[in-house]
Structure 1
Amino acid sequence: MPSTAQITAAVAEYVSLLGTGTGKEIGALYNESATLEDPVGGEIRIGRADITAFYSALDSVTTAAELITVRVTGDSAAFQMRVVTTMPDQVITIEPIDVMTFDDEGLITSMRAYWGPADVATTQGQ
């Protein structure tokens, strides 16, 4: 089982890469058979290739991400973050709560993002 420090570092790296990385770099944080459900109730992505494709949508926009709080127990973490995506005509801000599980190597085995339309704030772009 990964240590609390290992999981905390993996979550911090994940949030950092949401703001500065590529879909391929984020996808590399997941194990080969991982699942992703973002948001919960939406399509479940299965496997690193499908998950990488999901995050690749961020490659063409400017995104900043900030970790607000994280809690770790066993092989799981729950955390809240703020993600701000800037597009030419609007800025979208969301603060999801994500729950992740990890394998012994510290790779993500599952991720579920808790948020809905009421949690999305949109403002006019510049």
Structure 2
Amino acid sequence: MREFVKNLSVCFAAGCLGGLGYALALWAMGHYGITRAFAVDIAPHLSNGYIYQRVVWGGICGLVFLLPLQKTWFARGFFLSLIPAGVLLLLILPMHGYGIGALLLGTLTPLVIVLACAAGGIAGSGLLRAQGK
């Protein structure tokens, strides 16, 4: 039981780092005009509330690192990041009125979301690798 709680807390911490990575990647894509070049209407402003929300949700999403995926840390981070990306594109953003895949924000919105989630997933997986997990 003690080992499970330890793994749970390490995965939550890795998810928090992943959430920070996601937030910064999405902000950077908007700030440097990548989303504009893709004709995607996403350009978040960097603020405490913006980062805090994504770090907390990232920690919750980091629990997917408990899944027994035995790939390289890079591949594990990328493939497991597809789970929160799918939840965003198929559940959360449509609930906010952006349509399935958030296509109302632009045709390439799924690509932007997957890239941002991948940045977070790879960051979290890198932390787990550094922890020996």
TM-score category of the 2 structures, normalised to the smaller one: under 0.3
Larger Cα-atom Rg: 2
Q: Kindly indicate whether structure 1 or structure 2 has the higher relative contact order, using CA contacts under 8 Å at least 6 residues apart.
A: 2
Give the number of the structure whose residues are more often strand, by fraction.
1
Give the number of the structure whose residues are more often helix, by fraction.
2
Please give the TM-score of this superposition, normalised by the length of structure 1. 0.28
